[in-house]
Amino acid sequence: MTASWFAPRNRRRAGLIVLAGAAGVGGTTGLGGAAAAQRVPHARAVPLVVYSAQGYDKLETTDFSKRYHIPVQLEDNSTGPLITQIEASRNNPKWGLLWVDGATVFAGLDQQNLLVKGWEPDVKWNSLGQESVPADHSYIPTGVTLMPALVYNKTVVKNPPTSYAELLSPQWRNKVGMNDPSVSGPTYPFVAGMMNELGGVAKGETYFRRLKANGLVINQTNGPTLQALASGQIELALVQSSAGIGSYFSDHDLAVKYLPPTTVLPSAIGIDVKAPAAEQAEAKLFVDYVLSRAGQKVMQTGDPTGDSLYYPVIQEIKPRAILPSLASVKTQTINPYKWGALENKINSWFSANVVQ
């Protein structure tokens, strides 16, 4: 794996789920500090508002609420709409923490001074975790996937492409699909990664214009793009690795490969700098829980054919066996602060010139 610096998903539905704090289920066996729960005395518990686009978020927040007697309000949606909500309510924020895929999202929020800085959980990061922690500790990585994975039906496509340039050939006209980066949070890092690899925004724009001219099919998120593949509308789907690998469980004729390089996509949690002190403390406790053995178990089992197919960022936690070794994949890590600052501009360009 290569890195260039230190160190957006399919949702089934959106909705607000309120979880009342429940009676004890015991403490979490942490990989860091054992006394984390003492941060939030029960008598001072306030609702923790979680904005999330993770497939296991309901199970994770439910278990957290039961363990620590803290009420949780979960707003489950795609990344794009969640960020729109955050930016629209910046003067009167409604969220406590954000949990989505893509470091560029958090770098953009950090540059707007919307995140708590200078705090890091007491855990032992592996190399992926170390590469994903920002210098100012404004967000906390929770796992890593890759973007994109190339998914295809091996009974239909006998010789899949081996490079991004091949996607522009007449052989793949009207046969390639991907997600809309303004909706799918994981897709913007793919777009930015292509621009990074090709040598800049202008060269990346040229590539995506050519891909559109070759009949690129755009859907909003991983699910519809994979459905287009299943229906035969397209033959090649560029989606998040967790979604691509997960699709194999429902159709064993599907295969996944990675065009070089694929972009490392951290999932992360950021805490609202304007949240009340009590809610910030609960948010930090939630991070401790997510990175504990108990929290990681829920992450790895709560969405078994989707977001649970991630690479851990904590020592002692192993990826699920179905995941290929990262040593077999050529990857790149883009600078989220460079590309996060450009996200709105690039997504607007993409919407006007590729989606339309």
Q: What is the CATH number of the domain that holds 127?
A: 3.40.190.10
User: Which residues, 6 or more positions from 129, have their beta carbon under 8 angstroms from its beta carbon?
Assistant: 123, 141, 313, 314
Cβ(237)–Cβ(177) under 8 Å? Answer: yes
This model's pTM is above 0.85: yes
151 shares its domain with 203: yes
Q: What are phi and psi of 234, to 5 degrees?
A: -130, 165
Would you say residue 27 lies in a domain?
yes
DSSP for residue 233: S
Name residue 62's amino acid: T
Domain shared by 239 and 280, yes or no:
no
- Phi, psi (rounded to 5 degrees) for 201: -60, -45
**Helix residue spans in 10-126 (DSSP H):** 57-68, 79-88, 103-111
Work out how many domains the chain is built from and give that number. 2
Residue 8 lies in a domain: no
Residues 207 and 121 in one domain: no
- Please indicate, yes or no, whether residues 122 and 234 belong to a single structural domain of this protein: no
Written as tens digits, the pLDDT of the chain (356 aa) is 433 222 333 333 334 444 444 333 334 445 544 445 455 555 578 999 999 999 999 999 999 999 999 999 999 999 999 999 999 999 899 999 999 999 999 999 999 999 999 999 999 999 999 999 999 999 999 999 999 999 999 999 999 999 999 999 999 999 999 999 999 989 999 999 999 999 999 999 999 999 999 999 999 999 999 999 999 999 999 999 999 999 999 999 999 999 999 999 999 999 999 999 999 999 999 999 999 999 999 999 999 999 999 999 999 999 999 999 999 999 999 999 999 999 999 999 999 999 98
Residues 186 and 89 in one domain: no
Q: Are residues 287 and 258 in the same domain?
A: no
Tell whether 215 and 347 lie within a shared domain.
yes
Q: Which domain holds residue 231?
A: 147-263+342-355
Please indicate, yes or no, if residue 3 is contained in any of the structural domains.
Answer: no
Residue 283 and residue 225 share a domain: no
User: Do 92 and 31 belong to one domain?
Assistant: yes
Phi, psi of 57 (to 5 degrees): -65, -35
* Gap between the Cα atoms of 273 and 66, Å rounded: 26
The token duo for 100 is 């989505």
| Inside any domain, residue 4 | no
42 with 129, same domain: the answer is yes
- 3-state SS assignment for residue 165: helix
Query: Is residue 47 domain-shared with residue 76, that is, in the same domain?
Result: yes
Looking at the structure, tell me whether residues 211 and 347 fall in a common domain. yes
Look at residue 237 and tell me if it is in a domain. Answer: yes
Is residue 83 domain-resident? yes
The residues that bridge with 49 in the sheet, in sequence order, are: 73
Does any domain span residue 324?
no
Residue closest to 25 by CA, chosen among 269, 289, 281: 289
Q: State the DSSP H helix or E strand holding residue 217, giving kind and residue range, or none if neither.
A: strand 217-219
170 half-sphere exposure, CB direction, 13 A CA radius: 0
Q: Is 53 part of any domain? A: yes
Q: Residue 324: which residues within 8 A CB-CB, separation 6 or more?
A: none
